[in-house]
Structure 1
Amino acid sequence: MKEAVIRELERIVGRDNVTRRKEELMGHGYDATLKEYQPEIVVLPKSTDEVASILKLANREKVPVISRGAGTNLSGGTVALTGGIVLSMTKMNRILEIDTKNAVAVVEPGVVNADLQEVLEPTGYYFRPDPASMKACTMGGNVAECSGGPRCLKYGVTRDYVRGLEVVLASGEVIQTGSKNKRAADGLDLTKLLVGSEGTLGVFTKIILEISPISESKKTMLCVFGSIDDASKTVAHIIGSGIIPTTLELMDNLLINCAEDHTGVGLPRDAAAILLIEVDGYLEDLSDQVKTIGQICESNNVKDFTIATSADQVNKLWLARRTVIGALARKRPSYSMQDVTVPRSKMPSMVAEVVQVSKKYDLPIGVLAHAGDGNLHPLVLFDERDKEEVDKVHHAEIDICKSALELGGTLSGEHGIGTLKRPYLDLEFSQDAIDLMKGIKRVFDPNNILNPGKIVEVDAS
C-alpha cells in the first residue's frame, strides 16, 4: 500500500487508530473458519464521516476494504482475501436511542448483541434474533449476515427486524434506507437488499432495529431420545401439529458429550439425541402446548421428557447449547460447520444423509440444528494438520450441500456464502441469477473494493 494512502488514513482517523503491527494484522486476518488472509493495515473509524472519507480514498486508489466487527463469521466472509484495509467497526459501539413508544432501537454497528439485550431488559423489551455467539458478535455483522439463532423458528431472522440503515457506499456517499416506521411501501426496498449482503455493497454505520415486548411467560423442555431418527421425526410432528415453539434445537450424542464435558450441567451422556424446546406467550396458553408436545414426544419413543422448573435449570440448558461449538476442541482441534437448510418435513431425511456422509468418509460429524426451521449445522471434526483428512472433509462438505439441495433446501440458512460456499453457488442458482447478483454488485461497487471475492466474483469496471 502506498505510504501516501497510509498517511491519509492517519489524517482521517488519527494515528492511534491506524496500525500495521504484525500482531494486529494477524488478529484481524481470520474469523471463525480456517480461512486466514492478512490485511495490509487495520483502521478503526469512530464516525460515519470518517468511514465516508476512508471509502472515498480507497475507491480512488482502488484499495480493498473489508469491514468487520468481532470476527465470529462462519463462512470466511470477513477475511482479507486480497489484502487491503480491514475496517474494524468496534469503536462505533454506541446505543444511540431506545424508543419503546415506536418499538425501535438505533445502534451503531459495533454494539454487541448481548449488550443490547442487557440494556433493553429493564425496559421490558428485547431484540429477538439471538445468534449462539451473541455474547461476542456485533450488530453490524448480524445485519451483514442476516443472522438467526435459536429463536428464529418462531420469530424470524435479522432481516425481519431491521427497519432502516445508514450506509456508506463504495464511493463514500452516505445514504439512508428505511425509517422508524413499521410499514413502508415507497420505492424499492433497499434495506432488505442490503441485509445479508456480507459487506459487499456498503458499510453500515447506523442501524434502526425493531424491538419487541418480552413475553409474559415461557416453558422450557428437555426431551431425550434413544435414536436421532426419533428426535428428528418428533421435530416434524411438532411443527405439523400447528405448534410453533420459540426454539426447537437438536443435538446428537457427540455434541451432548462435548457440551457436558465443558459445562457439567447434567445432560444425559447415553442419549442418542436431545431436543431443547421452548414455548413462550401468555401463561394460560402454554399448558396445552406443553401437553401436546409431550404427547408427540411420547409417540416418538422419548426416553425422558423434563420441564424445567427454575431459571437456573433453564440457564444451564442454554449454556450447554450456546457453548457447545467451542467445546468441540476437546474432541478434535479443527471443525468445519455447514448451515444447510431443508424444508421442515425433510429434516429426518437430511439428518440421515449426514449420518451416511459421516460413515462414507470415516469422519466424526456432530449434528446440531435449529431443527424446527430445518436449519442444520453439521460439524465435521478433523485435524487440519492431516492433509489427507482435510481432503476428505472437503468432499464431505460437498456431499452435505448437494444432499440439502436435492431435498429442496438451500446452501445457507444464516451464516452466509462468504468464501466457503462460493464454489457451490452454481449448484443452487442458475447462471442468469448469478449474473444478476454480479450486476447488483457492480452498481453498488463498480471498482470492486468492498469485501472482494465474497459471494460472487466480479471484475472492477
Structure 2
Amino acid sequence: MSRIEARRDEDRGEGTVTAGPLVDRLLGGLPPEAVLTDPDVTASYAHDMASFCPAGSPAVVVLPRTVEQVQHVMRTATELRVPVVPQGARTGLSGAANAADGCIVLSLTKMDRILEINPVDRIAVVEPGVVNATLSRAVGEHGLAYPPDPSSWETCTIGGNIGTASGGLCCVKYGVTAEYVLGLDVVLADGRLMSTGRRTAKGVAGYDLTRLFVGSEGSLGIVVRAVLALRPKPPEQLVLAAEFASGAAACDAVCRIMAGGHVPSLLELMDRTTVKAVNDTARMGLPESTEALLLAAFDTTDPAADLAAVGALCEAAGATQVVPAEDAAESELLLQARRLSLVALEAVKGTTMIDDVCVPRSRLGELIDGVERIAEKHRLTIGVVAHAGDGNTHPTVCFDATDPEESRRARESFDEIMALGLELGGTITGEHGVGVLKKEWLAREIGPVGVEMQRAVKQAFDPLNLLNPGKLF
C-alpha cells in the first residue's frame, strides 16, 4: 500500500485494530479510528525525509484529537514501558521523527485547530497539528504575520517547527521559531500536563522551560498547545536577483550588505548546480551562466530604494548582472524558485543528503569553497543553497542510493562538510535538528560536559527514556 493510500484509509477510519494489551489499553481512551495497526499503514509512519537514518517498525500509530487523549497515550506508555515517537508532518531532515521498533507513533496531525487569534495582544494560540501556511494565512486576515517560514511551510506543522526549532527564508530579519514561542502546554512522559511561559509581551518568572522544549525534538514532552507571538503584517516585499561569477564574490556581497547596516527580509544564495536543477525541474528560466545567484528582498516602506542600495553593493562585489523585480508577482516567482531548490536537487540523482551547517557570516565564503573541494574529492554533485544572511548553508549531496560505492562517498562527504563547519566556528545544525543523523556530531560540538548536562535534563523529564529514544545523543 502506498503512503497516499494509507493516509486515505486513515482518513476513512479504516485502520485495522488488532487485539493485544497495548492496543486494548489505548482503546480504553481513544476511538477505534484513532488507533492504527495495519502494517501497511503503520509502515508509512516509520520515517521522515532524511536519508541514512535507521527507522524501526511501530507497534501502533495513534492519532489523538484532544489533550486528554494524548495524556491517556502517555499514561499507557508509562504503565507498559512502551517508547513513544511524536510526529508532525514528517517533513524533517534529520530522522528525528523516525519510529523505534515496537513503539507508539504519536501523530499529532489531527490536533489542527487554531484556538485563538488576538490582534491586541498579538498572539495566536494553536494546536500542534496546525500547518504553518494555514496559520500564516489566518493571521494575515487580521493584518498580522507569523514570520517563521520553513521551505516546507505549505505542509509542515507548528508542532514540528517547535520540535526542531526550525527557521526559514525570513530569519535574517525576523528570527527563528524559538523567538515566537511564548508559552506551551506540554504532556509529560507520565501523562501529567504542564504549562510553561506566558501570554504577555514580557515574563521572566523562573527558568525558561519554554525555550527548553523548543528544539528538544519530542524527547522531553509532547507539545499540545502553543502561544505564539505575532507581528504586524509587513508591506509586500520586492526581490532583487544578482548574478556572480563565483561563490566567493556572492559571499563578499553578503558581507558588504550586512556590514552596511541593511536589514533585508530575505538574503538567499543558490549556486550554479542548484540553479540548473531548478530549471530542469520547473523550467523557471533562471540564468544558468552564473556561478552563484543571490536573492535579496526588502519589505520596507520604500523597498525600491533599499534594493538599489544593495544592488550597488553587489556590483561593487563583482556582480555580473543585477536585476530588481518590478512587482510582487515577479518577486514571488523568484522566491518560488528558491523554495523549489531542495526538491529540484533531489531529482538530480534520486536521493539527497541535506546538510545544515551554519557558520559566522564572515566565513561563509570559506565554507562554500570548502564544499566545492569536497565535491571534487569525492566525485559527487553537491548543490549549495543557503540562508546567506544567517550563514546557514544547505550543502545537498546528490547520489544514487542503489550504488553502494556512491552512497559511501556521499556519507563521507556529508561528514567532511560538518567537520568543516565546526572548524570554521560554526554549528552542525542551524535549523534541521540533530535527530539520528547527527548524534555523534552533537557530541563533538558540545563536548562531554555538555552531553552530560543534556542527559541530566532528559533524565529529569523522562526517567524511563520513553520519549523519542535514540535521538540527539
Q: TM-score range by the shorter chain?
A: over 0.9
Instruction: State the TM-score, normalizing by the size of structure 1.
Output: 0.96
Q: Work out the CA distance in 2 between the residues paired with 1:446 and 1:82.
A: 20
Moved more, 287-296 or 161-170: 287-296
Contact 1:217 1:282 (C-alpha < 8 Å) held by counterparts? no
- Give how far 1:267 is off: 0.8
Contact 2:173 2:265 (C-alpha < 8 Å) held by counterparts? yes
- Give how far 1:288 is off: 4.2
Q: Residue type matched to 1:193 in 2?
A: L
User: Which of the numbers 238, 249, 272 marks the counterpart of 2:291?
Assistant: 272
User: How many correspondences in the alignment?
Assistant: 454
Q: Work out the CA distance in 2 between the residues paired with 1:219 and 1:193.
A: 36
Tell me whether 1:359 sits opposite 2:380 in the alignment.
Answer: no
Give the match for residue 344 of structure 1.
Answer: 361
Q: Work out the CA distance in 1 between the residues paired with 2:38 and 2:19.
A: 16
Tell me whether 1:299 sits opposite 2:320 in the alignment.
Answer: no
Q: Residue type matched to 1:293 in 2?
A: V
Give the match for residue 153 of structure 2.
Answer: 134
Give the match for residue 95 of structure 2.
Answer: 76
Give the match for residue 77 of structure 2.
Answer: 58
Tell me whether 1:333 sits opposite 2:347 in the alignment.
Answer: no
Q: Work out the CA distance in 2 between the residues paired with 1:265 and 1:315.
A: 12
**Secondary structure, aligned partner of 2:299:** strand
- Give how far 1:328 is off: 2.2
Instruction: State the TM-score, normalizing by the size of structure 2.
Output: 0.94
- Give how far 1:81 is off: 2.9
- Give how far 1:353 is off: 0.8
- Give how far 1:8 is off: 1.3
Give the match for residue 267 of structure 2.
Answer: 248
Moved more, 250-259 or 223-232: 223-232
Give the match for residue 202 of structure 1.
Answer: 221
Contact 2:237 2:328 (C-alpha < 8 Å) held by counterparts? no
Tell me whether 1:378 sits opposite 2:395 in the alignment.
Answer: yes
- Give how far 1:329 is off: 3.5
User: Which of the numbers 29, 38, 63 marks the counterpart of 1:12?
Assistant: 29
Give the match for residue 86 of structure 1.
Answer: 105
The sequence identity of aligned pairs, in percent, is 38
- Give how far 1:394 is off: 1.5
Contact 1:263 1:319 (C-alpha < 8 Å) held by counterparts? no
Q: Which string of whole-angstrom CA distances, capped at 9 and with x for unpartnered residues, describes residues 361-409 of structure 1?
A: 1111000100111000000000111111111112111111111111110
Q: Residue type matched to 2:378 in 1?
A: Y
- Give how far 1:281 is off: 2.2
Q: Work out the CA distance in 2 between the residues paired with 1:262 and 1:105.
A: 36
Contact 2:258 2:389 (C-alpha < 8 Å) held by counterparts? yes
Q: Work out the CA distance in 2 between the residues paired with 1:82 and 1:455.
A: 17
Contact 2:115 2:127 (C-alpha < 8 Å) held by counterparts? yes
Contact 1:38 1:79 (C-alpha < 8 Å) held by counterparts? no
What are structure 2's unaligned runs of at least 5 residues? 1-17
Give the match for residue 318 of structure 1.
Answer: 335
**Secondary structure, aligned partner of 2:237:** strand
- Give how far 1:38 is off: 2.4
Give the match for residue 430 of structure 2.
Answer: 413
Detail structure 1 runs of 4+ shifted over 6 Å in the superposition.
none
Computed over aligned residues only, the root mean square deviation of the Cα atoms, in angstroms, reads 1.3
Tell me whether 1:387 sits opposite 2:404 in the alignment.
Answer: yes
Q: Work out the CA distance in 2 between the residues paired with 1:15 and 1:30.
A: 24
Contact 1:82 1:452 (C-alpha < 8 Å) held by counterparts? no
Q: Work out the CA distance in 1 between the residues paired with 2:301 and 2:107.
A: 42
Q: Work out the CA distance in 2 between the residues paired with 1:31 and 1:331.
A: 20
- Give how far 1:342 is off: 0.5
- Give how far 1:234 is off: 1.0
Give the match for residue 117 of structure 1.
Answer: 136
Tell me whether 1:454 sits opposite 2:471 in the alignment.
Answer: yes
- Give how far 1:2 is off: 8.4
Contact 2:239 2:334 (C-alpha < 8 Å) held by counterparts? no
- Give how far 1:311 is off: 2.1
User: Which of the numbers 102, 115, 125 marks the counterpart of 1:106?
Assistant: 125
User: Which of the numbers 385, 392, 413 marks the counterpart of 1:396?
Assistant: 413
Q: Work out the CA distance in 2 between the residues paired with 1:222 and 1:120.
A: 29
What are structure 1's unaligned runs of at least 5 residues? 457-461
Tell me whether 1:425 sits opposite 2:442 in the alignment.
Answer: yes
Q: Work out the CA distance in 2 between the residues paired with 1:38 and 1:426.
A: 27
Q: Work out the CA distance in 2 between the residues paired with 1:13 and 1:310.
A: 51
